[in-house]
Amino acid sequence: GAVVSQHPSRVICKSGTSVKIECRSLDFQATTMFWYRQFPKQSLMLMATSNEGSKATYEQGVEKDKFLINHASLTLSTLTVTSAHPEDSSFYICSATFMGGNTEAFFGQGTRLTVV
Amino acid sequence: GDSVTQMEGPVTLSEEAFLTINCTYTATGYPSLFWYVQYPGEGLQLLLKATKADDKGSNKGFEATYRKETTSFHLEKGSVQVSDSAVYFCALSDRNTGGFKTIFGAGTRLFVKA
């Protein structure tokens, strides 16, 4: 089956620093990747959609300069949280779909970010 | 736009009780429907799916039937176990939402007591 790997699974960083989260499709070419954010005891909120080689499309209310998304290859997308603050602490999950696939997306394991 | 509504939790059941978690959706196209499960501190796991009307998805004793006429995809299990305690998310994915992005319901937390 299609596997999506997300790294790191947990990260703690100091306020003001930047953190990069990687999302890789291990056995398929991901034409589209999605980034979600999940607050404690809440649902997953879509942050942005990225297609390989083009700029990400951000959902309303998501700061583009705060959450930098790069989808440079068909197997890798990265989310960089810039100048992180404690309110950015959350669970971030990526997913990927591929051309010719059905409508199912494949999810990474998630990254728990804690900003101190 | 597309949306998913599921029953609020938490739901607390005794072991071997019958489970139903209601889910309804709104979509402009013909979505695929999913149930995901999230155990404490973990990511999402796909529990089951259905891609067209009248399809029944099933896995690990859980079932859900795609009902187009009622726009519903209710999750059921005949006899729950303590190990089923988790958060369950109903979701849809639609070709018309741009690259098959997945839209989630709010999630329903299930507690099963021994």
B29-57: pLDDT as tens digits: 889 999 999 998 888 899 999 999 999 99
Chain B residues whose CB is inside 8 A of the A71 CB are none
Strand order in the sheet with A67-73: A4-7, A19-25, A76-81, A67-73
Nearest to A49 among B31, B32, B101 (CB): B101
**Cβ pair B99:A46 closer than 8 A:** no
Question: How many beta-carbon contacts under 8 Å exist across A and B?
Answer: 63
**Residue of A103, A106, A107, A109 to mutate for B, most B C-beta atoms under 10 A:** A103
The answer to whether the Cβ–Cβ distance between B100 and A32 falls below 8 Å is: yes
Whether the per-residue pLDDT at B6 is higher than 60: the answer is: yes
**Is A102's pLDDT higher than 80?**
no
**Measured between CB atoms, which of B93, B105, B106 is closest to A105?**
B93
pLDDT tens readout for residues A29-67? 888 899 999 988 888 999 999 888 888 999 999 999 999
Report the percentage of chain A scoring pLDDT > 70. 95
Confidence of residue B92 (pLDDT cuts 50, 70, 90): very high
Q: Pick the closest to residue A55 from A41, A69, A42 (CA basis).
A: A69
Q: Is A79:A96 a contact under the CB 8 Å cutoff?
A: no
Mean confidence (pLDDT) of chain B = 92
A-chain residues near B93 (CB < 8 A): 103-105
- Distance from C-alpha of A85 to C-alpha of A80, rounded to nearest angstrom: 13
Determine the residue of chain B that is closest to A99 in CA distance. B99
Predicted confidence at residue A46, as pLDDT, reads 92
- The DSSP bridge partners found for residue A91 are A38, A112
Distance (Å) from the alpha carbon of B93 to chain A's nearest alpha carbon: 6
The residue among A28, A44, A33 whose CA lies nearest residue A92 is A44
Give yes or no for residue B2 having a pLDDT over 90. Answer: no
Q: Cα separation of B70 and B86, whole Å?
A: 26
